[in-house]
Amino acid sequence: MKKFVALLLALMMVLAMGACSSSGTTTEDTATNDTATTDDAATTDDAATTDDAATEDTGDTGAADGELIKVGFAQVGHESDWRTASTKSAQDVFTAENGYELSFVDCDNDSAVQLDAVRNFIQQGMDYIIIDPIVATGWDTVLTECEDEGIPVIVIDRTVDDSDKYASWVGSNFKTEGLACGEWLKAYAAAQGITEINALVIEGSTGASATIGRTEGFKEIADREGWTILDSQNGDFTEAGGQEVMESYCQSYKGQFNVVICQNDNEAYGAMTAMDQAGVTYGVGGDVILVSFDANKAALELVKEGKLNADFECNPMAAPDVDAVIKQLEAGETPEKEIYMNETWFVAEDVAGATITVDGAEQDLVVVTQEVLDARPY
Ligand code: GZL
């Protein structure tokens, strides 16, 4: 509907310009798509800026099938390798060649910046807005503003828990990831003759649905099995955060823990540095079972080397699914409200069996070999 009105206005302006030029006065319509910048967030406009159809010197009135679909993407930030892969997925899909003009805002893990970015997208008249919500709440007001302006919102990765005013969500079941981690640990400990689990958890960013789900899922199994979670602190999904928390843990709990759960790979890298410095051995044959989430390729190398015992994938490549949702909306179809990504549970050794049962569903455990590594897209 928005496109039809824009076309009609463009046509009227071309006709008006024609009338003006015959009377010797011209008006220049220099509408451009400026990507609003905010102090705290880097912004880029990845596709060529499209001028308003009426100013095309070819007289082209910007037939709808020739226009680029304007997509605004408010990304969490740049805190992890996973995030880098997520951003690249969007930048690879939402290109001019694919019919898009992408306006990207890195919100630097700042929720206020993210809300500003979405409001700027509304002002800029985006056709669609993609959000990866830094935190799960505080969204209903701005999503209502998007709805009032007729701009469909697609949420990816993390969830919005206080509003359903979006067309689709594409992402992972974070609680399932946490449950899978717990079920694998149960099977692994049994196979290794480990009868007591004293775990330390390095959580992701506070309030992020990924943190909430992974924490909830693992704790459900820990409570069921009678394990002890000695501590659970925020490492903010960063390597520095993981190292800082693990340094503290090595001081406070030295000799008391035999499992460390890092809620993403970057935290695991930091935890390894801290444990190396503290003389704590981990991984296959180590004193501590070390587990991570995300399963980036670099982390899977460490699984193959035995430095990580297991890594539970969180798939960052949501953009192709979002592209499909936009195409459905463009065609007047209703997309699925929830679209789950496929994910794999990777392990260093074939010890816990070939499968685990997670929430009633039998799921494969994949031993990381060179062949598995070579097949990984990110
Ligand atoms: C999970 C995603 C998390 C990753 C981290 O879907 O939101 O944020 O697990 C990233 O690596 O920082």
Q: How far is the CA of 203 from the centre of ligand 1 (A)?
A: 11
Write the single-letter amino acid at 160. Answer: V
Nearest CA to ligand 1 atom 3: 210
Model pLDDT, residue 10: 53
Model pLDDT, residue 66: 73
Whether residue 172 has its Cβ less than 6 Å from ligand 1: yes
Q: Which CATH architecture has domain 174-314+348-374?
A: 3-Layer(aba) Sandwich (3.40)
Alpha helix positions (H), the chain: 2-22, 81-93, 111-123, 140-148, 174-192, 209-225, 239-252, 265-278, 297-305, 319-330, 370-374
Q: How far is the CA of 211 from the centre of ligand 1 (A)?
A: 8
174-314+348-374 shares the fold of 69-171: yes
Distance CA 338, CA 155 (A): 10
Whether residue 294 has its Cβ less than 6 Å from ligand 1: yes
The values of phi and psi at residue 357, to 5°, are: -105, 115
Contact criterion met (CB below 8 Å) for 352 and 365: yes
Nearest CA to ligand 1 atom 2: 210
Nearest Cα neighbor of 150 from 9, 1, 328 is 1
Max Cα-Cα span within the chain: 92
Choose the residue to mutate in 294, 296, 315, 317 for probing ligand 1, maximizing ligand atoms within 8 Å of C-beta: 294
Distances in Å between the alpha carbon of 94 and those of 33, 68, 180? 16, 10, 33
State the CATH class of domain 69-171: alpha beta
Q: Which atom of ligand 1 is nearest to the CA of 266?
A: 11
Q: Which atom of ligand 1 is nearest to the CA of 79?
A: 12
Distance CA 77, CA 71 (A): 18
Model pLDDT, residue 378: 86
Nearest Cα neighbor of 184 from 256, 291, 308 is 291
Distance CA 103, CA 126 (A): 9
Buried b / exposed e over 286-303, threshold 16 CB at 10 Å, is eebbbbbbbbbeebbebb
Nearest Cα neighbor of 81 from 210, 206, 266 is 266
Distance CA 306, CA 186 (A): 19
Choose the residue to mutate in 202, 237, 239, 378 for probing ligand 1, maximizing ligand atoms within 8 Å of C-beta: 237
Q: How far is the CA of 271 from the centre of ligand 1 (A)?
A: 17
Q: How far is the CA of 281 from the centre of ligand 1 (A)?
A: 26
Q: What does the block give as tokens for 114?
A: 């993210």
Write the single-letter amino acid at 29. Answer: D
Percent helix, strand, coil in the chain, to 5, is 40, 20, 40
Q: Where are the domains of the chain?
A: 69-171, 174-314+348-374
Model pLDDT, residue 223: 98
Distances in Å between the alpha carbon of 50 and those of 15, 62, 102, 164? 21, 10, 11, 32
Q: How far is the CA of 214 from the centre of ligand 1 (A)?
A: 11
Nearest Cα neighbor of 189 from 305, 352, 2, 63 is 352
What average pLDDT values come out for the chain (378 residues) when binned by 10 residues?
51 47 33 33 40 35 66 97 97 98 98 98 98 97 98 97 98 97 98 97 96 98 98 98 98 97 98 98 98 97 98 97 98 97 96 94 97 93
Beta-carbon-side half-sphere exposure of residue 112 (alpha carbons within 13 Å): 3
Q: What does the block give as tokens for 222?
A: 């820990």
Q: How far is the CA of 297 from the centre of ligand 1 (A)?
A: 15
Model pLDDT, residue 54: 33
Q: Which atom of ligand 1 is nearest to the CA of 172?
A: 6
Q: Which atom of ligand 1 is nearest to the CA of 132?
A: 7
Whether residue 82 has its Cβ less than 6 Å from ligand 1: yes
Whether residue 158 has its Cβ less than 6 Å from ligand 1: yes
Q: Which atom of ligand 1 is nearest to the CA of 171?
A: 6
Distances in Å between the alpha carbon of 88 and those of 118, 181, 217, 241? 20, 27, 29, 24
